[in-house]
Every structure is written in C-alpha cells, then in structure tokens.
C-alpha cells in the first residue's frame, strides 16, 4: 500500500515559541518496500510517522494510503481524519512497548482480543506470527524473561499479527547493543523483504538506513532534502548536508574549468580534478567538490599520467582493525583516506603520491 503525503505541515506551539516540525512535506512512500526517514535529532521524522499513524494531527496537507485519503485539511477548513485504529497501520517503538505482566503469547494476541475472533483463530495467527519472528516455543515465557533482541521480535510479531497494510518503526533497534543491533538489522531486513509489506522506518543511524532500506529519505529541519536508493544517496549525494550526515569528510572548493566527456574539470587547491556530477556546470562557476575517503589510494606503477594524481605528506595514521585511517596534507588541504592494514603502512611525515579516482570525486549543488 503506497503512502502519499502532500504538503503536510505541523507546527508545535511551545512556551519558547513556534516549532515548525514539518514544513510542507511532499513524499511518496512506495508500496511493498522498506523506506527509511533518516536525519538528525529534531528534524521531524517521528512527527511525520505519528501523523501517518494518526497519533498526531497535522495543521494542513493530505495523507493517503493508496487511493484512500486518511487525513486532509486545506487551509482553514475542518480536517477529515480516519481514526488510528481504522488505518490498518501497526507501529513498533524504540521501547518495544510490550507488557511485562503478560506472557509472549498474551502480548502477541493482544491486538486480536478486541476483534471477536475465535480462540482457535487467535492461537493460529499468534503461532504464525511467532514462527515468522523465530520465537516458536516461547509462547508461555513471561515477556520480561527475554533478551532485548527477543523482546523486540515480540513487538514485531504483535505488530504483524493484525495483518496491517503498513508497518511503522520508530528507532526500534536503538536500545540494543552494537552486535545484537547488527544481527537484528539483518533479520529485520530479511523478514520485511519476505513479507513484502510497506514499511516506513525512522532512524538517525546512517548504517541502519543504508542496510535496511530500498529507499532512503533524508530530512532536515522539517523538510525532505534528498531521497534515493542507499547506493544513490551514498555514491551520488547532491548536498553537503547529506554527505556530512553519512559521515563523509573531504571537501574542496574550486572553479569549473571545463568539460571532459561526461565529467567536469575543476581547478582546486589540490590541482586540476576530474569530477562526476553536474555536467551542466558552466566554466568559471564556483563549486564544492566532495572526495570519498575510499576513492583515494596510494599511486602504483603505471599511474603516471593519470588524472587526479596529487602529492602530500602523511600527517597521522590510526589503526582501526580492518584498515588505517590516514590524514594527508596536500599543501593547505587535509584529506582523510584509508590505508590497508595488511601491507606495512607508510610512516607519519612521509611524502605520498596519491590517486583520486574520478568516480569518487563529486561536484555538490
Ligand atoms: N509534542 C511536542 N510539543 C512541542 N514540540 C514538539 C513536540 N513533539 C516534537 N516537537 C518538536 O518538533 C521538532 C521535531 O520533532 P521530532 O520528534 O519529529 O524529531 P525527530 O527527527 O524524530 O527527532 P529524534 O530523532 O530526536 O526523535 C523538534 O524540534 C521537537 O522538539
């Protein structure tokens, strides 16, 4: 079920003044896929999720599930709203919100109790949901006698048992430790792909967004700034904000010098760089170039005469296990890069010749 959001606006009135949590957000969340809302704290992710669930009332705009409008209000008019329990939406929260005084079975059965289903039907559906999250055999366990990861799976089973059209996740993994988080992320991706349900997932963790999603929507200050597949967002970001949010660090300012096929030549403090992106950039215009850390490598024999070769001095080298994080000064500019940890690295202070792969060198808007 596709979610269509059109010019959704929400302002909170607080003692300190108005807070614009959503500024005319327009967005289509595709059906049967996993979409994440990614952005820093306070950018409006949770507010958008709560508006979709019907837990928050927007000020203006429209929300539709497929062809069904579930909330709408033009400026000044009365809102039209489908109540939360009639939207066919389930939500999984950061705190799991499972009931400690109930068993696993009772927790998962809870959403079905009020529906007048037979005991046999409830038992069948709960069994199926628990099988799906691999918790068969845990039915009679008190919910508190489970690990954090297992509690999270109970919350997921409870969200699935009522066969929702849409499932919403609000930072569901943030209470788990790093290892469990990684495992649960993998399991969740597998489960959601198998289910083929429309899932919208809120996180401020970039790895989670990249690993889980079919589509990543980056938000800032109540607005959508960019969206795309994880690969598009990672390899072809358009703004410095997105690059920085994804952990990128190498930026140089420059002036467009001309074109070279699909690529653009930019005069920078590192010298002339051949870059991807914005082939329309006109000569003379000022631009910022982003260089991906892993696009920089030490030069090897045969690299002479290649584009984007620079010389610098190794400033620092930090061992982080699978590689060294290195910082290299190229005249006034500092570049961060990775050096393999299996080959003996260079010494701090040593001169290095580096190649910057043009595919990892991008002009930003
Ligand atoms: N009930 C409320 N009353 C007043 N202001 C609110 C309320 N809920 C949210 N806000 C404000 O609206 C803005 C957006 O909040 P929201 O919780 O949607 O952000 P978020 O991106 O989900 O952040 P986080 O990752 O920290 O949860 C913030 O500035 C927040 O302080």
| pLDDT at residue 7, as a whole number | 96
Q: 220 C-alpha vs ligand 1 centroid, how far in Å? A: 12
Q: 296 C-alpha vs ligand 1 centroid, how far in Å? A: 39
| pLDDT at residue 260, as a whole number | 86
Q: Is 13 in the pocket of ligand 1 (CB under 6 A)?
A: no
| pLDDT at residue 231, as a whole number | 96
- In ligand 1, which atom is closest to the CA atom of 43? 21
The whole-chain average pLDDT of the chain stands at 91
For the CA atoms of the chain, what is the radius of gyration?
A: 25
| pLDDT at residue 327, as a whole number | 95
* Structure ipTM: 0.96
- In ligand 1, which atom is closest to the CA atom of 222? 14
Among 8, 10, 15, 19, which residue has the most ligand 1 atoms within 8 Å of its CB, making it the best to mutate?
19
Ranges under pLDDT 50 in the chain: none
Residue nearest to atom 25 of ligand 1 (CA): 41
CA 114 to chain CA centroid, nearest Å: 35
Q: 304 C-alpha vs ligand 1 centroid, how far in Å? A: 53
Per residue, what are the HEC states of 234-300? HHCCCCHHHHHHCCCCEEEEEEEEEEECCEEEEEECCEEEEEECCCCCCCCCEEEEEECHHHEEECC
Q: Is 152 in the pocket of ligand 1 (CB under 6 A)?
A: no
Give the model confidence (pLDDT) of 276-285 as tens digits.
Answer: 876 567 889 9
Give the model confidence (pLDDT) of 190-203 as tens digits.
Answer: 888 888 899 999 99
| pLDDT at residue 172, as a whole number | 86
Rounded distance between C-alpha atoms, residue 345 and residue 337, angstroms: 12
Q: 12 C-alpha vs ligand 1 centroid, how far in Å? A: 9
Q: How many helices (H) and strands (E) does the chain have?
A: 8, 21
Q: 136 C-alpha vs ligand 1 centroid, how far in Å? A: 37
| pLDDT at residue 134, as a whole number | 84
Rounded distance between C-alpha atoms, residue 85 and residue 31, angstroms: 20
Q: What is the pTM of this model?
A: 0.88
| pLDDT at residue 133, as a whole number | 82
């Amino acid at each position: 079920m596709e979610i269509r959001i059109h010019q959704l606006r929400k302002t909170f009135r607080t003692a300190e003044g108005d807070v614009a949590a959503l500024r005319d957000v327009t967005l289509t969340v595709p059906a049967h896929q996993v979409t994440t809302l990614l952005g820093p704290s306070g950018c409006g992710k949770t507010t958008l999720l709560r508006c979709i669930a019907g837990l928050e009332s927007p000020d203006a705009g429209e929300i539709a599930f497929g062809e069904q409008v579930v909330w709408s209000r033009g400026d000044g008019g009365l809102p039209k709203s489908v109540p939360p329990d009639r939207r066919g939406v389930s939500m999984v929260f950061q705190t799991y919100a499972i009931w400690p005084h109930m068993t696993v079975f009772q927790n998962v059965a809870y959403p079905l109790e009020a529906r007048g289903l037979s005991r046999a039907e409830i038992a069948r559906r709960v069994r199926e949901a628990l099988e799906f999250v691999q918790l068969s055999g845990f039915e009679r366990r008190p919910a508190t006698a489970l690990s954090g990861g297992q509690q999270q799976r109970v919350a997921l089973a409870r969200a699935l048992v009522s066969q929702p059209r849409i499932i919403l996740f609000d930072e569901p993994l943030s209470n788990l430790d790093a290892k469990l988080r990684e495992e649960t992320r993998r399991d969740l991706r597998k489960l959601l792909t198998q289910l083929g349900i429309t899932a919208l997932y809120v996180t401020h963790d970039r790895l989670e967004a990249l690993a889980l999603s079919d589509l990543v929507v980056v938000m800032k200050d109540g607005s959508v700034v960019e969206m795309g597949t994880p690969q598009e967002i990672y390899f072809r970001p358009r703004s410095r904000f997105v690059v920085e949010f994804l952990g990128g660090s190498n930026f140089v300012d420059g002036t467009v010098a001309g074109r070279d096929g699909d690529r653009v030549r930019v005069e920078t403090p590192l010298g002339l760089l051949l870059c991807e992106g914005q082939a329309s950039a006109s000569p003379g215009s000022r631009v910022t170039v982003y260089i991906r850390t892993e696009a920089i490598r030490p030069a090897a024999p045969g690299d002479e005469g290649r584009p984007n070769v620079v010389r610098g001095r190794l400033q620092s080298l930090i061992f982080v296990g699978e590689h060294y994080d290195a910082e290299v000064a190229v005249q006034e500019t500092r570049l961060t890069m990775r050096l393999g940890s299996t080959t003996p690295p260079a010494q701090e202070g040593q001169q290095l010749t580096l190649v910057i792969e043009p595919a990892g060198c991008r002009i930003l808007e």
